[in-house]
Amino acid sequence: MTRFRDRVAVVTGAGAPDGIGMAVARELAAEGCRVVLGATSGRIHRRAAEIGEAAVGVVAGLTAEEGADALVRAALRRWDRLDVLVNNAGMTSVTSGWDAEEEVAALSLADRNAALARTLTTAFLMSRAVVPAMRAAGYGRIVSVGSTTGTVNAMPGQATYTAAKAGLVGLSRALALEVVGDGITVNVVAPGYGATGSQLAFEAEAAAAGPPGRSGTPEEIAACVSFLAHESASSVTGAVLVADGGHGLPETWPRT
């Protein structure tokens, strides 16, 4: 399993053992990649230890420039290269909590700013931080984990999350054009309902009632990320890969 042999990846938001970030890290490492894992708490060191010598964990708050720079430095100091960035951090963290769930008319500016910082600012700062190394190498893959929320649909009371994920698509498309001549691709994977530790009960119920009858797994999303992160996906950039199991397809459901 050597599809990513000699490659080095940074994966953010990888602290949860049952989350998408850790599933991505496992997938890449299993294919020969060396990975720098980022999270806001010390549990990231346990995740790195689970992978082994091919992984290193870094505790960093990615809403500040210093945190993003620390992850890039860790990759360059340890392995002297950085080929792949997976922007997975967002929505919630063990140190800063969840995005506010308020209607726009009742949403405070502070809560709005905090939510956008967790999902959109983190991706901006990480993407900006990795571009110089990737440009110097003439190669890079930036894959952000978005959502069908904000990309193809929305929910009331979640304007912060919806706006952040929609902004992630715009950021990725603009960046894709800026670096397309440098051998760097920039794409988004947009999961639907996901069976992670942070999934809420109403989401699991909605997924069970939908066309596939279940939520997607972190491993299924990791497979999508792995495809876009590989060198063979060189002609795919500025794209959004929706991975929702078909939940967004029907006009009505169930069929009568």
3-state DSSP call for residue 246? coil
Instruction: Give CB contacts under 8 A, 24+ apart, made by 94-101.
Output: 94/15, 94/39, 94/40, 94/41, 94/43, 95/40, 95/41, 95/61, 96/40, 99/158, 99/160, 99/161, 99/164, 100/160, 101/157, 101/158
Instruction: Choose, from 4, 139, 161, 193, the residue flagged as catalytic.
Output: 161
Identify whether the C-beta of residue 242 lies closer than 8 Å to the C-beta of residue 152: yes
Work out the burial of residue 195: count CB atoms within 10 Å of its CB; fewer than 13 is exposed, 13-18 middle, 19 or more buried: middle
User: Cα separation of 100 and 102, whole Å?
Assistant: 6
Identify whether the C-beta of residue 67 lies closer than 8 Å to the C-beta of residue 123: no
CA-wise closest residue to 53 among 78, 73, 72: 78
| Core vs surface per residue 168-179: b (16+ CB within 10 A) or e | bbebbbebbeeb
In angstroms, how far apart are the furthest CA atoms of the chain?
Answer: 60
Is residue 193 annotated as a catalytic residue, yes or no?
Answer: no
Q: Which positions are catalytic?
A: 161
